């Protein structure tokens, strides 16, 4: 391969060398070309000093690469100031930075090969520069180690089971790396954080930023938010239970109906109240279905009432930072597809639905004559079968009461 060496006095030397040549042999060739003794030469590649025992290929030197040579007579800084510590950082980062800055050609080379390092050299943060130099040194060391391991595997006994297992793992990892590189090139947005869907709403006249979650079974409001909206006085504690999902939260009860304002139109909405300090308001699948909502990601809007109202999803800058931090907790509270298990206490069982028993007696409702006909009738109204069955269980098979619950009445 052919490399170019630039000396401190801006002399340019082109050499044809073998990629596996050592740095010491390269210096010997340069001694003939430049008359600079081998012992006085210091070679820099991408800002890093090349040690005599290292091979050019191991350092990553490729065809048409540029190498800087500094000598004791022509260096703008003492040789020791331009040397590197074992961890890859510069012994004198200030002198190293000034030396590189003074060479426009070298800066251009570094900008093409490593823009982040070039920006650090041109910046004023020496700690950042040292950190990048350490990182590059570590990356080179890991690359060399990986190459040595791959070479060792290729030379291993083909009947060695452990060696074959490592070769298989290396091939699999290579496929993963290639897939990752392809994704970076063709699908870079896949590595970006996805901002969840929020819209502006008013609940009982109080402005809120509602988290739209079609994977949550029920619309959820926290106890603190319900209190702020003046709705806690309507909490029906007969609907206590546990919300099961990724985690679980205590259901304090249910608010059967309250007005929410989306755009300029008011809609009735029912809420499950959770004792969860890590969430505020979640607009779930029950109300999305009831109000015929459409999540339009092409236009980035939520359409309500079959399209009579459209409200835009909020950009990330308009979402409070603590909302973004708490999205994980929202999912734990609601969890996509979370099951809401509601149990009535013995004290309130008779009040709830004309003396219906609580607990295991719910299961007997599904075996009663006409139960499937009631389910089919309510499903025709647009409700999910599971929600209809749960509502009929809660109402001891009373179709009208179940319909009232499903409609949020």
pLDDT digits (tens, 9 = 90+) for 37-63: 888 888 888 878 888 888 888 888 888
Which of 281-285, 289-293, 320-324 shows the lowest per-residue confidence on average (mean pLDDT)?
Answer: 320-324
Which of 31-45, 221-235, 295-309 shows the lowest per-residue confidence on average (mean pLDDT)?
Answer: 31-45
User: How many Cβ atoms from other residues are within 10 Å of residue 262's Cβ?
Assistant: 24
- Angle of helix 115-122 versus helix 126-154 axis, rounded to 10: 150
Q: How confident is the model at residue 392 (pLDDT cuts 50, 70, 90)?
A: confident
User: How many Cβ atoms from other residues are within 10 Å of residue 84's Cβ?
Assistant: 18
42 strand-pairing partners:
70
Q: Are 13 and 5 in contact (CB under 8 A)?
A: yes
- Count CA atoms closer than 13 A to 97's CA, side-chain side: 19
* 257: CB partners within 8 A, 6+ apart: 268, 269, 270, 408, 409
Q: Which DSSP category does 350 fall into?
A: H
Most confident of the ranges 140-144, 289-293, 314-318, 355-359: 289-293
Q: How far apart are CA 96 and CA 132, in angstroms?
A: 13
**Angle, CA of 92, 26 and 51, to the nearest 5°:** 35
Question: Given a cut of 80, is residue 243 above it in pLDDT?
Answer: no
**Residue 354: helix, strand or coil by DSSP?**
coil
Q: Is 222 left (phi over 0), alpha (psi -120 to 50) or beta?
A: beta
Q: Are 374 and 392 in contact (CB under 8 A)?
A: yes
Average pLDDT, the chain: 79
**Of 155 and 301, which is predicted with more confidence?**
301
What pLDDT score does 71 carry?
Answer: 64
Place of tokens 């279905």: 289
* 106: CB partners within 8 A, 6+ apart: 6, 66, 68, 100
**Of 200 and 407, which is predicted with more confidence?**
200
Q: How far apart are CA 98 and CA 208, in angstroms?
A: 55
Place of tokens 């022509």: 74
**Residue 206: helix, strand or coil by DSSP?**
strand
Q: Which DSSP category does 204 fall into?
A: T
The pTM for the full model equals 0.46
**Residue 348: helix, strand or coil by DSSP?**
helix
Write out the two tokens for 330: 């929202």
Q: Is 337 left (phi over 0), alpha (psi -120 to 50) or beta?
A: left
**CATH 1.10.8 describes domain 351-406:** yes
Write out the two tokens for 147: 């190459």
Which of 272-281, 332-341, 369-378 shows the lowest per-residue confidence on average (mean pLDDT)?
Answer: 332-341
* 117: CB partners within 8 A, 6+ apart: 46, 47, 110, 129, 132, 133, 136
Domain 198-342 homologous superfamily, CATH: Acid Proteases (2.40.70.10)
Write out the two tokens for 232: 């806690």
Phi then psi dihedrals of residue 353, to 5 deg: -155, 60
Q: Which residues are catalytic?
A: 213
- Count CA atoms closer than 13 A to 276's CA, side-chain side: 28
Query: Which CATH number applies to 2-138?
Result: 3.10.20.90
The sheet with strand 294-296 has its strands ordered as: 294-296, 301-304, 309-312
Task: Give, rounded to a whole angstrom, the gap between the first and last alpha carbons of the chain.
Answer: 81
What pLDDT score does 120 carry?
Answer: 86
Question: Given a cut of 60, is residue 390 above it in pLDDT?
Answer: yes
What pLDDT score does 311 carry?
Answer: 94
């Amino acid at each position: 391969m052919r490399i170019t060496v630039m000396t401190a006095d801006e002399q340019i030397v082109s050499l044809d060398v073998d990629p596996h040549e050592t740095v010491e042999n390269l210096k010997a060739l340069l001694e003939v070309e430049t008359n600079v003794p081998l012992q006085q030469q210091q070679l820099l590649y991408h800002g890093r000093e090349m040690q005599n025992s290292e091979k050019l290929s191991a350092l990553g030197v490729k065809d048409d690469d540029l190498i800087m040579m500094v000598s004791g007579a022509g260096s703008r800084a003492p040789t020791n100031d331009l040397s590197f510590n074992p961890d890859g950082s510069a012994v004198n980062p200030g002198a190293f930075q000034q030396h590189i800055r003074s060479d426009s050609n070298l800066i251009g080379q570094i900008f093409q090969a490593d823009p982040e390092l070039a920006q650090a050299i041109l910046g004023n943060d020496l700690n950042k520069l040292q950190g990048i130099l350490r990182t590059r040194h570590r990356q080179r060391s890991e690359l060399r180690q990986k190459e040595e391991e791959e070479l060792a595997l290729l030379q291993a006994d083909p009947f060695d089971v452990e060696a074959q297992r490592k070769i298989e793992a290396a091939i699999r990892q290579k496929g993963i790396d290639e897939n990752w590189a392809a994704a970076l090139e063709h699908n870079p947005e896949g590595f970006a954080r996805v901002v969840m869907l929020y819209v502006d709403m008013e609940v009982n006249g109080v402005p809120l930023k509602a988290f739209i979650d079609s994977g949550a079974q029920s619309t959820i409001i926290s106890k603190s938010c319900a209190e702020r909206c003046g709705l806690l006085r309507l909490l029906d504690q007969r609907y206590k239970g546990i919300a099961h999902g990724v985690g679980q939260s205590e259901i304090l009860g249910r608010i059967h109906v309250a007005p929410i304002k989306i755009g300029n139109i008011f809609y009735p909405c029912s809420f499950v109240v959770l004792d969860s300090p890590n969430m505020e308001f979640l607009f779930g699948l029950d109300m999305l279905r009831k109000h015929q909502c459409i999540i339009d990601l092409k236009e980035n809007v939520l359409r309500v009432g079959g399209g009579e109202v459209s409200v835009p999803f909020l950009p990330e800058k308009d979402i409070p930072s603590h909302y973004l931090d708490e999205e994980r907790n929202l999912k734990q509270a609601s969890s996509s597809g979370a099951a809401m298990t509601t149990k009535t206490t013995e004290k309130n069982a008779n009040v709830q639905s004309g003396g219906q028993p609580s607990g295991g007696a719910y299961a007997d409702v599904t075996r009663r004559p006409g139960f499937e006909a009631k389910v089919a009738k309510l499903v025709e109204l647009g409700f999910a079968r599971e929600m209809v069955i749960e509502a009929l269980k809660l109402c001891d098979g009373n179709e009208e009461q179940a319909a009232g619950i499903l409609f949020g009445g």
